[in-house]
Amino acid sequence: MPRETTRVAELAQLPPGHMAYVHVDGLPIALANVGGIVYAIGDSCRHEGGPLSAGVLIDDTVTCPWHGWTYSVRTGKALVPPIGIRVPTYPVTIQNGQIYVTIDWPDS
């Protein structure tokens, strides 16, 4: 499975408590800065595809702007029923003030 690490944003553009939309080769990703720790999750809400990066972030919980489903940005797990729904999570590294996200792409 090919693994790819890509620079997606500058840390200075993502203050604590904020979210940002980025993409890697068209894969939509929501970045979230929770108290200085950056997390990356799939941007598309599992309900009807709402953009989680445009949601409200409180602590480590993001609320989808369309109908209010909530997710942990740390685990990607939905915090509302039905239990078991989740969005993908991606490893984040910070180097020299730059945010990198690692994607495991499926074999093609």
Among 11, 28, 47, 100, which residue interacts with ligand FES (rule: CB under 6 A)?
Answer: 47
Of 8-16, 20-28, 65-73, 94-102, the window that binds ligand FES (rule: CB under 6 A) is 65-73
Q: How far is the CB of 44 from ligand FES (least distance, A)?
A: 8
- Return the number of other C-beta atoms located less than 10 Å from residue 38's C-beta: 21
Give 92's strand partners: 101
Which of 4-12, 63-71, 83-91, 96-104 is the region at the interface with ligand FES (rule: CB under 6 A)?
63-71
Residue 69 sits in the site that holds ligand FES (CB under 6 A): yes
SS in 3 state form for 29-86?
A: EEEEEECCEEEEEECECCCCCCEHHHCEEECCEEECCCCCCEEECCCCEECCCCCCCE
Residue ranges that bind ligand FES, judged by CB under 6 A: 45, 47-50, 64, 66-69
